[in-house]
């Protein structure tokens, strides 16, 4: 008896999202996808701008820089908490209405950040700002997939994710410059305005579809009992952590090991952003070929390039294209993990899709923490890239276990 391989192409969403596919194409479709991507751009900007404005944030609420860094953790915690909670509470709601509500909450959270007067209110505002993050990307991905034919779904979802990637090239530098020159609060006012703009675009360009009246919070929760969902989330939380093990410590690595001046840091950060854009674009094309194989390409490629970076970190500028490659392969993982979860979650697609960014935020924290441990142990600034390569290998092993389980299940059927 032959075994059935894991799903090869981007999934066709079932349930409420997929039952009312509008006949859009050309300019209407492009504008609809742009509206969804704009939300990703706003979210990407607020997620990373706090890192660039940390000294200003600290001075603004009269705490130390390390203490102000807790605001970044509070945002990440909001992402992890918000994804499953909103999937449960919003299971029956129409998708467009839920997207509008999420962007409204996002705008309020960032406006509140701009108005804070102390450390406690800053932490609360950043937590609220993070709540819509994972759910927005999950629901926007499901809506994008419902707007196009099956063979274009990978590219449609990648377009939504492209907003997050472009934010690292355009939105974050612009908001950081604004915050440094006109006061840090202006950066968050800008992000709040982007949230309102997204809300308007979604209302104008996304077709209204009825909610799924058969959906329940309990049905969504069942997704977290599915072995394939858990394995995919674990693959993301571990494997994607490889990129952040390197990225978190990239500046001291290129200066202390590579011998470059601190002025080189923006160039490397730009390479990181451009790699995200290129990788997200490529991920959509690969997903329309094979989601599962694309995950292996991303994981194995990321691991190999991280190892190469560790070996060549002393070469200065020559490591720039290697960092770019690490980011490209990491972005391939992000898009295809999203699509994989949309497939394996079954009827609980909202939970599956929303949890992707929760697992990626865990990856962010895990990579940064393990990278910091090996540096503190005296292993040097090359060591986070080695840790990242090991995390990538572990992520690939989890994916292999997922594929083996899938084949066994279909063979027994």
For the chain, the three-class secondary structure string (H helix, E strand, C coil) is: CCCCCCCCCCCCCCCCCCCCCCCCCHHHHHHHHHHHHHHHHHHHHHHHHHHHCHHHHHHHHCCCHHHHCHHHHHHHHHHHHHHHHHHHHCCCCCHHHHHHHHHHHHHHHHHHHHHCCCHHHHHHHHHHHHHHHHHHHHHHHHHHHHCCCHHHHHHHHHHHHHHHHHHHHHHHHHHHHHHHHHCHHHHHHHHHHHHHHHHHHHHHHCCCCCCCCCCCHHHHHHHHHCHHHHHHHHHHHHHCHHHHHHHCCHHHHHHHHCCCCHHHHHHHHHHHHHHHHHHHHHHHHHHHHCHHHHHHHHHHHHHHHHHHHHHHHHHHHHHHHHHHHHHHHHHHHHHHHHHHHHHHCCCCHHHHHHHHHHHHHHHHHHHHHHHHHHHHCCCCCCHHHHHHHHHHHHHHHHHHHHHHHHHHHHHHC
pLDDT for residue 189:
97
Over the chain (413 residues), what is each successive 10-residue block's mean pLDDT? 44 43 65 94 89 82 82 86 86 88 96 94 94 90 87 86 88 87 94 96 88 68 79 91 83 86 82 90 90 92 95 92 94 89 77 82 84 86 92 94 77 37
Rg of the chain's alpha carbons, rounded to an integer? 20
User: Alpha-carbon distance 60 to 279, whole Å?
Assistant: 36
pLDDT for residue 110:
96
Q: Are 375 and 383 in contact (CB under 8 A)?
A: yes
User: Alpha-carbon distance 241 to 36, whole Å?
Assistant: 26
For residue 113, CA distances in Å to 33, 84, 116, 358 come to 28, 23, 5, 21
Pick from 145, 165, 169: which is nearest to 155 by CA?
A: 145
> Fold for domain 222-413?
Growth Hormone; Chain: A; (1.20.1250)
pLDDT for residue 323:
93
pLDDT for residue 7:
46
Pick from 289, 24, 42: which is nearest to 189 by CA?
A: 42
The residue extents of the domains of the chain are 16-215, 222-413
pLDDT for residue 101:
94
pLDDT for residue 43:
94
Q: Indicate if 222-413 has the same CATH topology as 16-215.
A: yes
Q: Are 142 and 351 in contact (CB under 8 A)?
A: no
- Measured at the CA of 46, the angle between CA 44 and CA 52, to 5 degrees, comes to 105
* Second-level CATH architecture of 16-215: Up-down Bundle (1.20)
């Amino acid at each position: 008896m032959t075994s059935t391989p894991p799903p090869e192409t981007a999934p066709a969403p079932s349930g409420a999202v997929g039952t009312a596919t509008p006949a859009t194409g050309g300019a209407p479709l492009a504008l609809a996808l742009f509206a969804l991507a704009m939300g990703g751009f706003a979210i990407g900007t607020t997620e990373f701008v706090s890192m660039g404005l940390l000294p200003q944030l600290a001075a603004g609420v009269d705490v130390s820089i390390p203490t102000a860094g807790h605001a970044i953790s509070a945002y990440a915690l909001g992402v992890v908490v918000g994804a499953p909670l909103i999937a449960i509470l919003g299971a029956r709601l129409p998708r467009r209405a839920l997207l509008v509500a999420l962007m409204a909450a996002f705008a309020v959270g960032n406006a509140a950040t701009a108005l804070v007067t102390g450390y406690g209110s800053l932490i609360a505002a950043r937590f609220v700002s993070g709540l819509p993050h994972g759910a927005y990307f999950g629901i926007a991905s499901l809506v994008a997939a419902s707007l196009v034919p099956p063979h274009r779904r990978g590219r449609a979802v990648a377009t939504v994710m492209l907003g997050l990637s472009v934010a690292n090239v355009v939105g974050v530098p612009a908001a950081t410059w604004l915050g440094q020159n006109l006061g840090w609060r202006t950066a968050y006012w800008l992000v709040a305005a982007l949230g309102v703009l997204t809300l308007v675009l979604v209302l104008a360009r996304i077709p209204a579809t009825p909610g799924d009246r058969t959906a329940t919070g309990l049905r969504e929760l069942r997704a977290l009992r599915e072995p394939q969902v858990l394995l995919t989330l674990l693959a993301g939380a571990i494997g994607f952590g490889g990129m952040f093990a390197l990225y978190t410590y990239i500046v001291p690595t290129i200066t202390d090991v590579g011998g470059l001046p601190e002025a080189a840091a923006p160039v490397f950060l730009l390479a990181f952003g451009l790699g995200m854009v290129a990788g997200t674009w490529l991920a959509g094309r690969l997903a329309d070929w094979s989601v599962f194989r694309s995950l292996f390409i991303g994981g194995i490629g990321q691991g190999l390039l991280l190892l190469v970076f560790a070996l060549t970190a002393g070469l200065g500028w020559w490591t720039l294209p290697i960092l770019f490659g690490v980011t490209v392969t990491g972005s391939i993982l992000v898009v295809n993990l999203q699509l994989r979860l949309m497939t394996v979650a079954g009827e609980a697609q909202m939970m599956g899709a929303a949890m992707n960014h929760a697992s990626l935020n865990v990856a962010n924290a895990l990579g940064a923490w393990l990278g910091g441990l090996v540096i503190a142990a005296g292993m040097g600034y090359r060591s986070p890239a080695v840790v990242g390569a090991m995390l990538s290998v572990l992520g690939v092993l989890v994916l292999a276990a997922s594929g083996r389980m899938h084949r066994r299940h279909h063979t027994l059927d």
